[in-house]
């Protein structure tokens, strides 16, 4: 992933004429490009949206029936976590319910990209105590 991110960063610098010493996040944000990590999750979730995956039916109701949860293969752990059969349902289950419940592909793609874009470029809130001396 790191090597792919470096390639994307170089491409963004080439297109915008940004110097190597300048921070790349504002450049990616201006180009409206998702970082590779989020781009990968985006593509997996688009594939999940278009795929037929067995719905997870728990023995007792843990959530309202409108919330779709997909089954994951519990046998796969470390190395297998990158497999689509594990990563796809895990990413899907971590989506907010309002995104999971979208039925139109174009709307799903748009909302999902906005969701990941906000996560990738959100600024961390500053603590109230930052910059204040102890009194």
What would the pLDDT profile of 69-110 be if each residue is shown by its tens digit? 555 544 444 566 677 778 888 899 999 999 998 888 899 999
- Asked if pLDDT for residue 36 goes beyond 80, the answer is yes
pTM value is 0.70
135: tokens are 């009194």
20 contact partners, CB below 8 Å, separation of at least 6: 13
Cα separation, 60 vs 129, in Å, equals 45
Q: With contact defined as beta carbons under 8 Å apart, do 78 and 90 qualify?
A: no
């Amino acid at each position: 992933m790191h090597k792919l991110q470096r390639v994307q960063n170089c491409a963004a610098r080439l297109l915008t004429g940004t110097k190597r010493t300048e921070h790349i996040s504002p450049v990616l944000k201006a180009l409206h490009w998702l970082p590779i990590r989020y781009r990968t999750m985006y593509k997996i979730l688009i594939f999940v949206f278009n795929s037929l995956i067995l719905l997870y039916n728990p023995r007792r109701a843990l959530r309202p029936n409108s919330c779709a949860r997909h089954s994951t293969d519990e046998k796969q752990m470390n190395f297998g976590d990158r497999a689509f059969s594990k990563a796809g349902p895990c990413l899907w289950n971590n989506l907010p319910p309002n995104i999971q419940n979208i039925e139109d592909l174009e709307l799903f793609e748009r909302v999902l990209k906005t969701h990941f874009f906000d996560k990738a470029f959100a600024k961390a809130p500053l603590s109230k105590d930052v910059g204040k001396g102890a009194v």
